[in-house]
Structure formats: C-alpha cells, structure tokens
Amino acid sequence: MPYNIESICTPVDSDGDTIPDSTDNCPSTPNTNQLDTDSDGIGDVCDNNITQPQTYKSHTFYSSIRSPYSLINEQVALANCGQTYSSQELAGRNYVNIQTEAPLISGRFYYLNFGRGYNYYYLYQSNSGEHNDEDYRIDFHEEIISVCPDTDGDGIIDGQDYCLNDYGTSGNGCPDTDGDGLNDYDDDCPNEYGEDNGCPLADFVVDSFNLTQENVGDVNSPFFELIFCATIKNIGDDDGRPNNIEIILTTKNSIYDPGDIQTITTVSNNNNIDSNGGTSDYCYTHSGTFIDPIFGGKRLSDYNYVWIIIEKGPEEYSTENNEAFFSKKINIISNKNSLIKSKIINESLNNSAKDLKVFNLSGTLIKSIKINTQEDEDNLINNLPSGFYIIKTPTETRKIVK
C-alpha cells in the first residue's frame, strides 16, 4: 500500500505562513511574526478584542485569621464573606505582584496559586503599582477565583447585593441607568440624572441685589420710596421657583453678628425660573415719610446692610446657597431737610439753569457760572486744581476737598 510520506513528515500549515497549525496563534490567516499584543494566545490578525498589555499590580494576601486562629480554607472563606479585617487580625502575609488590568478588590477571599499551589487567601490591600519587595509574581494567565459568590457578576458579592440577578452599577449592586447614585427601582426618574428623589431639581442662588431710593411728593408733603430688588438665579437642572424671598436689614457687617435685625418683607413671584442659569427679579417698594421714618424701632438710616434669604422651593436640590449677605454699605436718606434740598436741586436742574459759584477758603471767588445739569456741575468740580473749596448754589452751600 503506497504512503504519502510528505503528509506524514510535514506538519500541517493551513495558512502557509511557515508556522505549523499546532503552534500557530492564527492558523487560518498568515502571520509569520505571530504578534499577540495582549498575550491571550490569539494572534492580532485574528483577535477581535485586543486589550492593552497589562502591568503588574501589588497585592497583600494573608493566609490565616488570628482570633480565633483559623487557616483560611474554603469553609472559613465562605463563612466570612463580607467581613473585613485589619492587618493586626491577620497572619501569614505575602506580597504578590499580579499582571492584571486592574487590581483585585481588597477585603475579599480568593483561591489562587502564586507558587505554593492553590490555596485560599484574604486580600487585605491592593494597589495600582508594583510592590518593590515582592514575595511572588503571577502573570495574568493564572486562574484567580473570587471565593464569595457574585451571581450577577457586578463586583458586589451576593451577601451585600440587593439585586442578586441584575448587574448593578450603584453601590448596593442594583442597576442605576442614569448614574445618579439611586438605583432604578427607587428612582422616580430612572433615565434622568437627579439629585434628590432621582429626578432633576431646581437650585436657587442670589445672583445680585440693588437698592434705590426715590424721593417723591412735594416739599410740603414729602415722602420717599425704597425699592429693594434681588435677582434670583436657578443653577439647577429643572425649572422651578422658590416659595419666597425674605429681605432683612441689619446694623452690622457680619453674617455671624449682624447686630439689630429687621425684616422688611417677604416677596413672592409666580414665574418659574428656567434651569441652568435662568433669572427672575424679586422686588419690593417700601414707602416712608420723613415725619416718621421709623422701622422696627430704629430710623431707617441706622440700618447699613442687607441680607437676602431664599425660602426653599418645593422641589429644590440644596438650601446651602440660599442666603446672601450684602456687606456693601447702603445709604438711606431719612431726613426731611435732605429730601427738601434734593427735591429743589433736582427740580432746578430739570427746569432751568442755575448759578454756581466757587470760592477758596479765604472767601475769594474763583468761578461763577450757570449750569443746566448735574453733569455740568460734576465737570466743573473735576477740573478744579487740588485744594479746599466752597461750592454755593441757590439751594445749598458746601465744602469740598480736591
């Protein structure tokens, strides 16, 4: 009977790359260089899942528990799943560098062989870098088994997993689709990132504050209006509005020691504030007379500072940023004479030109002109040389320093 001597003596090489099929890491596709980047036994030309080369990570294993003394075996490991131990409670330390993409999870029991045969160990600590004083080194081909069961493979052992059969990304082993830290089963909005009940919420801050004073009425019946306006910004992820804004006056410049406190009012606004930067103004007008400019037992001019407090809305994430203290001193005119002078000056400036004279301290006249606006007066004063001057108009006489 004839024999095919060539087929008996020559190893099979299906892809003709000179590497026999028995040792070829990709027998169906030529790859003479046998390149295998991730060292998984499959040549790169055939590997559909090439991972980056893995590096060695340091691990500190212990082989026994001190009190009561127990050599760690399968029974001991399974009986203590979920328990954590300090280094003082453990014995039989081994520093092991393992070639792996990520360190093993510390606080777990493992079944592995790092040179002494397969045994059970407790992993006390793991790090991303190598240990300089290693006892053993393992490449990633070695089988390492986590002893404690993890049915759904999410890294949370069954004894600590609230969702045994569902792969979870939240801390308790349950699914968390939107990544907000609340598992889907307890999340009112499982597909939207939320801060409180799992849903997006508004978050309000005081963006700015403005106080203006308008003197109204006439000389015979003078009164004034204080207009308080706070601009509220929504930095949250959902539209909403606070319940109200509280405006408070204080006498001292300290949020910890504000001195005398007087609540001016609370202001409501029914308009929703748009999420991610929308704003809305909350304003209040206080009217007062110079005959009785008292507020909370003190003259309004005695209050120097403003405090704005946002009352938490029904769906607001945080109240930690709901208070703003404006330390810029506010000036409230609550004197009838000041009002009368201001009133006359304003009417004079608005209706006709007025005489303005400038004297030095010796009484010598420096300038005498007619002005039509406050801007004209300011320009004149700004152009004076440095020194002391007396400014005189039909309604006032005052000293200035340049």
CATH of residue 269's domain is 2.60.40
Cα distance between residue 8 and residue 269, in whole Å: 94
238 and 287 belong to one structural domain: yes
Predicted TM-score (pTM) of the model is 0.41
Each residue's pLDDT tens digit in the chain (402 positions)?
Answer: 454 444 455 678 888 887 888 888 888 888 877 877 666 788 878 888 766 556 888 999 999 999 888 899 999 998 888 888 999 999 999 999 888 877 888 888 999 988 888 999 999 999 888 888 888 888 766 788 888 888 877 778 877 888 888 888 777 788 888 777 778 777 777 777 766 566 777 888 888 888 777 766 665 666 777 788 888 888 888 888 888 888 888 887 666 677 888 888 888 878 888 888 899 998 988 877 655 555 666 776 677 778 888 876 655 555 666 566 554 455 555 554 444 444 443 444 344 467 889 998 888 998 888 887 777 788 888 888 888 888 888 777 888 887
Give yes or no: residues 330 and 385 share one domain.
Answer: no
Q: Are residues 316 and 376 in the same domain?
A: no
Distances (CA, A) of 298 to 293, 301, 302, 303, 325: 8, 8, 7, 8, 20
Place of tokens 């000056």: 345
Task: Tell whether 322 is covered by a domain.
Answer: yes
Residue 74 lies in a domain: yes
Res 198: pLDDT? 65
324 & 360 share domain: no
Residue 165 in domain: no
Structure tokens, 283: 């304003």
9 in a structural domain: no
pLDDT at 36: 75
Per the domain annotation, does 358 fall within a domain? Answer: yes
Residue 347: per-residue pLDDT: 44
Measured CA to CA, the distance from residue 278 to residue 240 in angstroms comes to: 10
Let me know whether 139 and 216 are in one domain: no
Q: Is residue 40 part of a domain?
A: no
Among 146, 164, 185, give the residue marking a domain's end.
146
Kindly state whether residues 319 and 394 are assigned to the same domain. no
In a domain, 17, yes or no: no
Assess if residue 315 is contained within a domain.
yes
Same domain, 329 and 359: no
Residue 118 belongs to what H/E stretch? none
Q: What local confidence, expressed as pLDDT, does residue 321 receive?
A: 61
Q: Chain centroid to CA 282: how far?
A: 26
Q: Are residues 236 and 303 in the same domain?
A: yes
- Indicate if 359 and 321 belong to the same structural domain: no
Q: Are residues 309 and 213 in the same domain?
A: yes
- Tell me the residue type at 369: I
Same domain, 223 and 294: yes
Which of residues 146, 161, 176 is at a domain's end?
146
Q: How many domains does the chain have?
A: 3
In order of 71, 83, 88, 106, 193, the CA distances from 67 in angstroms are 11, 14, 10, 20, 46
Name 366's bridge partners: none
Domain hosting residue 366, numbered range: 352-401
Indicate the burial class of 121 (C-beta count within 10 angstroms; 0-12, 13-18, 19 or more).
buried
In a shared domain, residues 328 and 383? no
The 8-class DSSP code of residue 202 comes to: B
Domain boundary among 106, 125, 146: 146
Instruction: Return the structure tokens found at 235.
Output: 């930095």
